Amino acid sequence: MNEKHLTKMGVPPGEPVRQALTFISRYCLAGNDKQQIPQAVEEVFRNPAGFVDDELRADFARALLAVPTSFTPGNAPWRQWGQDLEAQALAQMARACELPVSVAGALMPDAHVGYGLPIGGVLATEGAVIPYAVGVDIACRMKLTVLDWPVAALTERHEELVRAIEAETRFGVGATFKQRRQHEVLEADWTVSKPTQSNRDRAWAQLGTSGSGNHFVEFGTLKVGQAASLSESAADGAGSQPALRLPPGEYLALLSHSGSRGTGAAVCDHYSKLAMAMHPELPKEYQRLAWLDLASPEGQEYWAAMELMGRYAAANHELIHRHIARNLGAQVLLDIENHHNFAWKERHVINGVARDVVVHRKGATPAHPGVLGIIPGSMATPGFVVRGKGGEGSLGSASHGAGRVMSRTKAEETFEWSAVNPVLRERNVRLLSAGIDEVPGVYKDIHQVMAAQTDLVEVLAEFMPRLVKMAPSGERPED
């Protein structure tokens, strides 16, 4: 009898399954009839309280009794930024803060409905990680590279920029390069979890690609204000990098948004299902908020897999930017990047007490004091390079973009290219490919979103898209 048989019987995953397997092993070593194993397991499973004093069966019985059978909502404090947020997103945030492992939350001004935790949701937990609070596209990420070409290249060398993007990017579900990219992330330990081990070759095939949904690669102008100068920084938990100053002015820049591709989704799928199976006590509306204890083997596996997906997503962006710059023969003046859809171990003061917590930022940008980040708008509206202020109650966070105002289905019913194309031309944006569900009208006004979080971030520079590539119409979204 193995783990699969036990799970099919209804034995909860995690400690109950581990103790069941230990019991089976001891049962056999004691000389009992192996044919009677299913019956012996069934007896304990059906009436664990009757075996807590049984020397052979006690550990299995106690593990079963330790599984929660009821859910009592808590009341962790949380704040929202922005007005007129979706009622469903607010309800999702409130539910997340009712979990027994939750200690604080925050909702960003770009918030909208997601799986479990809303997009734009920030949740601090104690000793636990929630796969769906990290997100499906683990370590979805922004990267901006400033190149040494003049802004005039957007018109004077336009076709060279087009050829570089077309040659060095791949979009769409399952997209790959015919000649696989190489990166040191492939030398990492991919055996840290079942899904990373079984998907390593898939990850290699998709290395350096962008996927679908709201993912993009685009050239544009970066305007650094007179009151600011930029230096490299990363919001991956590593803090600021060695400074490289970029004085005020206007620059040619490359901006990308994508994550950990199919392998990240496989990690989320595996561990979210496992977490839900380990918490049968959760009512239906809370099930996608099921957590893994960080002290458990399952929690440690997920954490290791998540961190590997962070490295993998960073490698994807590194390769996109490196290959495009090399294709153009351009030199890099500055790189800025940050994750969203990730969890970090941090220390925060909550209700006046300093606590070590796990901060989930699902569609939210790290915005600790002094940390640089990128908040994009849409294919025809500006994005911003920002410096975090660590606003009170925000858990060191800010929005990760403008945020959707309608579903993809609604967008396809609402917009037509005949109406969108004149807007793009008016704003001097050339679109190489995209779906109608990603046009500017499906997003909130980025200026209103930024105005709602002036206590969270300081704007240092403005990026305006000029040449945009996304997955073509008909692709299943991976964002």
Q: What is the pLDDT of residue 174?
A: 83
- CATH assignment at residue 245: 3.90.1860.10
**Inside any domain, residue 246:** yes
Q: With both helix axes pointing from N to C terminus, report the angle between 37-46 and 58-65 in degrees, rounded to the nearest 10.
A: 40
**Inside any domain, residue 317:** yes
Look at the block and give the residue holding tokens 């496989």: 266
**Inside any domain, residue 120:** no
Domain endpoint, select from 33, 65, 97: 65
Ramachandran angles phi, psi of 457, nearest 5°: -140, 155
Q: Which two structure tokens, joined as six digits, stand for 96?
A: 């997340």
Query: Domain range for residue 158?
Result: 141-470
Are residues 217 and 326 located together in one domain of the fold?
Answer: yes
E strand or H helix that includes residue 248 = none
Q: pTM value?
A: 0.89
Are residues 174 and 32 located together in one domain of the fold?
Answer: no
Q: What is the pLDDT of residue 243?
A: 42
Q: Which amino acid is at 231?
A: S
Q: What is the pLDDT of residue 237?
A: 43
Q: What is the pLDDT of residue 232?
A: 56
Q: What is the pLDDT of residue 230?
A: 62
CA distance 77 to 166: 47
**Inside any domain, residue 116:** no
Q: What is the pLDDT of residue 224?
A: 93
**Inside any domain, residue 70:** no
Look at the block and give the residue holding tokens 């938990």: 237
**Inside any domain, residue 114:** no
Q: What is the pLDDT of residue 231?
A: 62
| CB-based contact 268:138 (threshold 8 Å) | yes
Are residues 58 and 176 located together in one domain of the fold?
Answer: no
Three-class SS of the chain: CCHHHHHHHCCCCCHHHHHHHHHHHHHHHCCCCHHHHHHHHHHHHHCHHHHCCCCCCHHHHHHHHCCCCCCCCCCCCEEECCCCCCHHHHHHHHHHCCCCCEEEEEEEEEEECCCCCCEEEEEEECCEECHHHHCCCCCCEEEEEEECCCCCHHHHCHHHHHHHHHHHCCECCCCCCCCCCCCHHHHCCHHHCHHHHHCHHHHHHCCCCCECCCCEEEEEEEEECCCCCECCEEECCCCECCCCCECCEEEEEEEEEECCHHHHHHHHHHHHHHHHHHCCCCCHHHHHHCCEECCCHHHHHHHHHHHHHHHHHHHHHHHHHHHHHHHHCCCEEEEEEEECCEEEEEEEEECCEEEEEEEEEECEEECCCCCEEEECCECCECEEEEEECCCCCCCCEEECCCCECCCHHHHHHHCCHHHHHHHHHHCCCEEEECCHHHCHHHECCHHHHHHCCCCCEEEEEEEEEEEEEECCCCCCCCC
Are residues 240 and 346 located together in one domain of the fold?
Answer: yes
Number of domains in the chain: 2
Look at the block and give the residue holding tokens 């796990």: 358
Residue 258 pairs in a beta bridge with 141
**Inside any domain, residue 36:** yes
Q: Which parts of the chain register pLDDT below 50?
A: 237-244
Q: Which amino acid is at 17?
A: V
Domain endpoint, select from 17, 49, 65: 65
| CB-based contact 37:27 (threshold 8 Å) | yes
CA distance 159 to 163: 6
**Inside any domain, residue 280:** yes
Domain endpoint, select from 49, 65, 81: 65
Q: What is the pLDDT of residue 246?
A: 82
Q: What is the pLDDT of residue 236?
A: 52
